[in-house]
Amino acid sequence: MRIDLTVNGETRTLDVEPRTTLLDCLRDTLALKGAHAGCEHGVCGACTVLFDGVAVRSCLMFAAQAAGSAITTIEGVTPGPGEMSLIQDAFCETHGMQCGYCTPAMVLVAHALLADNPEPTREQIVEAISGNICRCTGYAQIVEAIALAAERMRGVNRPKDSR
Q: How many of the chain's residues bind other proteins (CB under 8 A)? A: 56
CB of 11 to other proteins, least distance (A): 21
Q: Which of 141, 147, 149, 150 binds other proteins (CB under 8 A)?
A: 141
152 in contact with other proteins (CB under 8 A): no
CA-CA distance, 119 to 63, in Å (whole number)?
34
CB of 162 to other proteins, least distance (A): 28
* Residues binding other proteins (CB under 8 A): 17, 19, 27, 31-41, 43-44, 46, 73-75, 78, 84, 88-89, 91-95, 97-104, 107, 122, 126-127, 129-143
